[in-house]
């Protein structure tokens, strides 16, 4: 349990949304709203990190700064 | 019986009508001179903003950016303040790797031809990632990431990482230590996808160095002479859920004296088993490798980012870039020989890259001009035009008399003498508020509760509208319009204190650029005066701290096209030659959206209704 407490944390979502998630995951294979929300969040984080990798490596003027102070 | 006609397009990215005319006049471009005399040529209107993926997609689809859906390198996300890539959509895959989705809203020329059962080969045209389906083959162009999912990140390995980082502070994350193992051995590490990594061993053997991969029992992968390059080296990465994923890169032994230094190109997808979708059909990229051997697959096959960040010198850059561009030409020559195509479209970044990086070496008016440094690089831009001209000659030699040739550029090139910081200007007017204090020369994030307007990408300004943005404060309706007018007026009144010139020549509203199809696009888009360009660091929706609003351009990026400039200030060029083309001029109205209907007309096909352009042969 100590390990689990260290590795996980709790976030809050509106109860109404939690109940809707509970309903929609019934036939998806996800075992709980938490598992589903973790899945969705992980997908979103991968996408944002991938986007970040791209925009920070743009060679053009729109990219990160390179002029010296 | 009518003979079947073919079309060869050479996409000469960045070819400028004035520079080209001057070089033709000086007898430097014999192939283009012949085509211009025997065919038709003239300036070509570009898109707004005039940047490659946006413009080439207009060339390939015959429609404006508002319709094809690729509007800038990066834009503000529709539902947040995050900067997001504007070329395609990214989602997360189950295995921890990104999945890329096309956001092109209309078919490309290759797709239109495929629909009619016609065959096209399209090689590395910007904006064609992810690759659309096609009959023939399409190799994805700018947008195609390297194995790390970036636009191409190189590396510098050295026994003196502190020294290199001090010399290239913007490239510190690209500098890696060569760890000494004793007895003339060093180890280097290479980052791969999904946090996987690979490593290599460098062993001194007299004046040479042998590069081996650790995983293969130190079987030599390359032998490097001082100043010499390796061939393409395959690096394995163990990626959870994917097994072994291989990437390819090349190494150059830059120095082997007191300090040992090794340059490594971006680790790229292999042509035979690419991690990300590289071609259509998927096997086409491997077929090209059978023609020319392993090749650069990243969409920008040159290390402009490395030059900007100070880790790669210009000689290393040009050696690598010309080797890659040469392979692209060889691919086209191999495909021409097959004679199975209706359209062959080869894109080359050569001229564009030279104008970005070498402008200051040939322009005494440029603040970065240095007569002593300029000697070696003064003719690099001319070299780029001449090289493209020579390759054009090789291609024309191989085509038959059934082939019409179109040479087309997406935009021209201009010097960048002065850099402007648009978000810093918005801050100076009280429209934008930084969230944090950062060192001078660094970019700060924004306080969105107090920011009313901010710039992203190539100069596009979004207002922080209530109900549209997460923490919007500008009321829609009359207050929104009043603020737009106020900022537009202030931008037009902005003067460079050093020159007295106005910085902004025109301010367009989003709907003027994108019609009724703004789709989350910007509210205002200023067009800069030629000679001015955007300072880096603000395009990600940040504000540069501790800087004058306008500075002299001392950066490696001494020329450009992106501005944002009015399309009339940085137009491209088109040359038409061969069957179906009479001597004369191209119409004054000629624009990039006319290229697709011109090709369709030459191939005896009618243009789909969605196409906005008209054939240049009408």
Q: Does position B216 have pLDDT exceeding 70, yes or no?
A: no
In a domain, A39, yes or no: yes
Rounded mean pLDDT of chain B?
A: 94
Higher pLDDT, B198 or A64: B198
Q: What is the pLDDT of residue B301?
A: 96
> Which of A42, A43, A58, A69 to probe by mutation at the B interface, max B CB count within 10 Å?
A58
For chain B, give every domain's residue range. Answer: 6-69+104-149+270-413+569-602, 155-264, 417-559
Given an 8 Å threshold on Cβ–Cβ distance, is B536 in contact with A47? no
When pLDDT is averaged across residues A49-60 and rounded to a whole number, the result is: 88
pLDDT exceeds cutoff 80 at B317: yes
Provide the number of CB pairs (under 8 Å) joining chain A to chain B.
126
Domain count, chain A: 1
Distance (Å, whole) CA B412 – CA B354: 12
Binned at pLDDT 50, 70 and 90, residue A68 comes out as: very low
Check pLDDT > 60 for residue A1: no
Domain B6-69+104-149+270-413+569-602 has CATH 3.30.1230.10: no
Predicted local confidence at residue A65, as pLDDT: 57
Question: Which residues in A lie closer than 8 A to residue B554 (C-beta atoms)?
Answer: 67
* Tens digit of each residue's pLDDT (9 = 90 or more) over A7-25: 899 999 999 999 999 999 9
Closest listed residue to residue B55, CA positions, set B564, B586, B602, B598: B564
Measured in angstroms, the CA of B381 and the nearest CA of chain A are apart by 18
Q: Is residue A44 part of a domain?
A: yes
Residue B2 pLDDT? 53
Judged by CB atoms closer than 8 Å, whether chains meet at B85 and A51 is answered as yes
Nearest CA in chain B to A53: B150
Give the range of the structural domain holding residue A43, as residue numbers without chain letter. Answer: 13-55
Establish if A24 touches chain B: CB-CB under 8 angstroms: no
Range of lowest pLDDT (B299-308, B368-377, B431-440): B368-377
For tokens 């390297």, the residue is B146
Strands of B432-587, DSSP E: 443-444, 453-456, 460-463, 504-509, 524-528, 531-534, 543-544, 550-552, 559-560, 572-577, 584-585
Contact A62 B151 (CB under 8 A): no
User: Which of A48, A55, A64 is facing B537, going by the closest CB pair?
Assistant: A64
CA nearest to B440 within chain A:
A69
Residue A60 lies in a domain: no
What pLDDT score was predicted for residue B217? 64
For residue B573, is pLDDT > 50? yes
A54-68, B194-208, B533-547: range with lowest mean pLDDT: A54-68
Whether residue A61 is contained in a domain is answered as no
Work out the number of other CB atoms within 10 angstroms of the CB of residue A41: 12
Residues B412 and B16: beta-carbon distance below 8 Å: yes
Please judge whether B84 and A51 are an interchain contact, meaning their C-beta atoms are less than 8 angstroms apart: yes
State yes or no: pLDDT of B277 exceeds 90: yes
ipTM of the complex: 0.88
Region B90-104: what's the mean pLDDT?
A: 92
Residue B161: band (very low, low, confident or very high) from pLDDT cuts 50, 70, 90: very high
Q: Which among B83, B149, B310 has CB closest to A50?
A: B149
Interchain contact, B439 vs A59, CB within 8 Å: no
Whole-Å CA distances, B472 to B74, B426, B456: 21, 17, 16
**Does A49 fall in a domain?**
yes
Whether residue A65 is contained in a domain is answered as: no
Judged by CB atoms closer than 8 Å, whether chains meet at B305 and A57 is answered as yes
Q: What strands, in cross-sheet order, belong to the sheet with B504-509?
A: B453-456, B460-463, B524-528, B504-509
Residue with tokens 């020989």: B337
Contacts of B51 in chain A (CB under 8 A): 60
Nearest CA distance, B350 vs chain A (angstrom):
15
Supply the pLDDT for residue A67.
45
pLDDT tops 60 at residue B325: yes
Task: For residue B212, give both structure tokens.
Answer: 């081996």
Please, are residues B35 and B13 in contact by the beta-carbon 8 Å criterion? no
pLDDT above 60: residue B1: no
């Amino acid at each position: 349990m100590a390990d689990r407490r260290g590795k996980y944390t709790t976030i809050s979502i509106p109860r109404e949304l939690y109940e809707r998630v509970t309903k929609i995951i019934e036939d998806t294979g996800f075992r709980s709203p938490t598992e589903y929300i973790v899945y969705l969040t992980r997908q979103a984080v991968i996408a944002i990190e991938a986007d970040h990798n791209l925009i920070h490596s743009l060679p053009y003027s729109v990219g990160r700064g390179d002029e010296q102070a | 019986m009518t003979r079947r006609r073919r079309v060869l397009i050479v996409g000469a990215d960045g070819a400028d009508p004035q520079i080209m005319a001057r070089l033709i006049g000086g007898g430097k471009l014999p192939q283009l001179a012949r085509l211009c005399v025997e065919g038709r040529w003239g300036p070509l209107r570009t898109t707004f903003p005039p940047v490659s993926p946006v413009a080439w997609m207009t060339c390939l689809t015959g429609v404006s950016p508002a319709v094809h859906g690729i509007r800038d390198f990066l834009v503000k996300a529709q539902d947040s303040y995050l900067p997001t890539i504007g070329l395609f959509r990214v989602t997360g895959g189950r295995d921890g790797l990104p999945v890329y989705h096309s956001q092109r809203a209309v078919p490309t020329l290759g797709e239109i031809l495929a629909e009619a059962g016609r065959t096209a080969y399209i090689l590395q045209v910007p904006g064609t990632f992810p690759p659309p389906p096609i009959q023939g083959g399409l190799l994805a162009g700018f947008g195609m990431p390297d194995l790390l999912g970036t636009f191409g990140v190189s590396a510098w390995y050295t026994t003196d990482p502190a020294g290199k980082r001090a010399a290239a502070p913007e490239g510190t994350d690209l500098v890696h230590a060569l760890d000494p193992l004793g007895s003339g051995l060093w180890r280097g590490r290479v980052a791969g996808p999904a946090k996987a990594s690979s490593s290599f061993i460098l062993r001194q053997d007299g004046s040479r160095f042998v590069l081996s991969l650790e995983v293969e029992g130190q079987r030599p992968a390359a032998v490097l002479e001082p100043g010499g390059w390796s061939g393409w080296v395959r690096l394995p990465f163990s990626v959870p859920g994917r097994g072994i994923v291989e990437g390819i890169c090349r190494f150059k032994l830059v120095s082997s004296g007191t300090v040992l230094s090794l340059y490594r190109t971006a680790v790229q997808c292999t042509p035979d088993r690419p991690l990300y979708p590289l071609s259509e059909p998927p096997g086409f990229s491997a077929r090209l490798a059978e023609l020319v051997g392993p090749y650069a697959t990243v969409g920008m096959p040159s290390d402009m980012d490395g030059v900007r960040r100070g880790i790669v010198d210009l000689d290393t850059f040009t050696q690598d870039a010309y080797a890659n561009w040469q392979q692209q030409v060889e691919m086209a020559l191999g495909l021409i020989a097959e004679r199975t195509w209706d359209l062959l479209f080869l894109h080359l970044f050569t001229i564009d890259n030279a104008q970005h990086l070498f402008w200051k070496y040939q322009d005494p008016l440029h603040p970065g001009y240095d007569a002593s440094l300029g000697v070696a690089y003064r003719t690099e831009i001319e070299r780029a035009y001449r090289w493209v001209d020579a390759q054009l000659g090789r291609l024309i030699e191989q085509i038959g008399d059934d082939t019409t040739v179109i040479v087309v550029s997406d935009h021209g090139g201009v010097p960048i003498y002065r850099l402007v910081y648009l978000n810093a200007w918005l801050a100076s007017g009280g429209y934008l508020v930084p969230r944090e204090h950062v060192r001078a020369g660094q970019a700060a994030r924004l306080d969105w509760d107090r920011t009313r307007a901010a710039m992203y990408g190539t100069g596009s300004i979004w207002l922080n509208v209530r109900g549209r943005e997460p923490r919007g404060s500008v009321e829609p309706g009359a207050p929104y319009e009043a603020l737009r007018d106020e900022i537009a007026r202030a931008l037009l009144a902005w003067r460079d204190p050093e020159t007295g010139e106005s910085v902004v020549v025109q301010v367009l509203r989003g709907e003027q650029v994108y019609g009724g199809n703004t789709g989350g696009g910007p509210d205002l888009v200023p067009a800069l005066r030629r000679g001015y360009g955007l300072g880096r660091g603000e395009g990600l929706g940040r504000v540069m701290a501790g800087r004058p609003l306008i500075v002299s351009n001392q950066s490696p990026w001494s020329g450009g096209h992106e501005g944002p400039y009015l399309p009339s200030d940085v137009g491209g060029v088109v040359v038409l030659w061969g069957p179906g083309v009479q001597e004369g001029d191209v119409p004054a109205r000629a624009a990039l959206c006319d290229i697709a209907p011109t090709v369709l007309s030459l191939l005896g096909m009618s243009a789909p209704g969605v196409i906005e352009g008209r054939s240049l042969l009408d």
